[in-house]
Amino acid sequence: MKLFIDTANIDEIKEVNAWGVLSGVTTNPSLIAKEGRDFKEVVTEITGIVDGPISAEVISLEADGMVKEAEELAKIHKNIVIKIPMTEEGLKAVSILSKNGIKTNVTLVFSPNQALLAAKAGATYVSPFIGRMDDIGNEGMNIIRDIVEIFDIHGIQTEIIAASIRHSMHVIEAARMGAHIATIPYKVFKKMVTHPMTDKGIERFLKDWEGVSK
Ligand code: E4P
């Protein structure tokens, strides 16, 4: 499973990228707004840090507008992937873009049927939102399991990005279910890397070593 970071914050991306674990980045309008910077400027900067798919989302709700925005964004860098919301207009845009060789990530996916439609329209990636499903009392991980099963049975090449990840268990579960990618917030990456037993172990080694080196 590949790991993406779900943020538009340059410092966070640089820090986790330096660990050598990142294969890509996802952003969304809310994450970009948090940075208070120009959208294209941020996305361009990210392409200079991570050598992998960088998702940038369109704002238009009509297919024509989405396609126009997508064509502009795709000019920024070869690694740009256009994030398109899962709507009828979104599917039309995905179908046009995929025929023109522009990669897409269909976002705001909350059901296996939506994922299937997105894949049939030619999406490169689909992003089922686990955390937001959990929030409304549904088991978000079930969607991942169903989509993995359906895509496997039918040999569908679209990659599944487990999105809206809120904690480390989501990452483990997504990996066990067979999601191709998990897009993980910075805070969750920081939790994944630590373990109290590791800290204790280091402390103990250093203490013991102090005795040897005296
Ligand atoms: C996915 O690509 C989205 O950016 C993201 O995972 C949304 O997560 P949230 O539900 O925590 O906002």
- Residue 211's pLDDT is 83
Q: Which of 82, 129, 161, 180 to mutate to test the pocket of ligand 1 (most atoms within 8 A of CB)?
A: 129
Calculate the alpha carbon distances from 173 to 90, 140, 159, 166 in Å: 29, 10, 17, 12
Residues known to be catalytic: 83
Contacts of residue 104, defined as CB under 8 A and 6 or more positions apart, other chains included, come to: 70, 81, 82, 83, 84, 93, 94, 97, 98, 122, 123, 124, 125
Protein residue whose Cα sits closest to atom 6 of ligand 1: 164
Residue whose Cα lies nearest atom 1 of ligand 1: it is 163
Q: What is the pLDDT of residue 121?
A: 98
pTM over 0.90: yes
Per-residue pLDDT reduced to its tens digit, 6-43: 999 999 999 999 999 999 999 999 999 999 999 999 99
Contact 131 CB / ligand 1 (< 6 Å) = yes
Q: Which of 28, 81, 161 best tests ligand 1's pocket when mutated (most atoms within 8 Å of CB)?
A: 28
**Pick among 3.90.25.10, 3.20.20.70, 3.40.50.720, 1.10.10.10: CATH of 2-211:** 3.20.20.70
pLDDT at position 212 is 86
Residues sharing a CB contact under 8 Å with residue 200, sequence separation 6 or more, in sequence order: none
**Residues 93, 166, 149, 146, CA torsion sign:** negative
- The single-letter DSSP state of residue 158 is P
* Residues 106-121 pLDDT 10s: 999 999 999 999 999 9
Please determine, for residue 97, whether its predicted confidence score (pLDDT) is greater than 90. yes
- Does the beta carbon of 105 lie inside 6 Å of ligand 1? no
| Contact of 184 with 5, CB cutoff 8 Å | yes
**pLDDT beyond 90 at 129:** yes
For residue 214, what pLDDT is reported?
A: 62
Residue 201 has, within 13 A of its CA and on its CB side, a CA count of: 5
Confidence of residue 213 (pLDDT cuts 50, 70, 90): low
- ipTM surpasses 0.95: yes
Q: What does the domain layout of the chain look like in residue ranges?
A: 2-211
**Model confidence pLDDT, tens digit, residues 146-203:** 999 999 999 999 999 999 999 999 999 999 999 999 999 999 999 999 999 999 999 9
> Would you say the CB of residue 132 lies under 6 angstroms from ligand 1?
yes
Cβ 107 under 6 angstroms from ligand 1: yes
Q: CA nearest 53: which of 176, 183, 186?
A: 183
The finding on whether 164 has its CB within 6 A of some atom of ligand 1 is yes
**181-184 and 80-85 beta bridge pairing:** unpaired
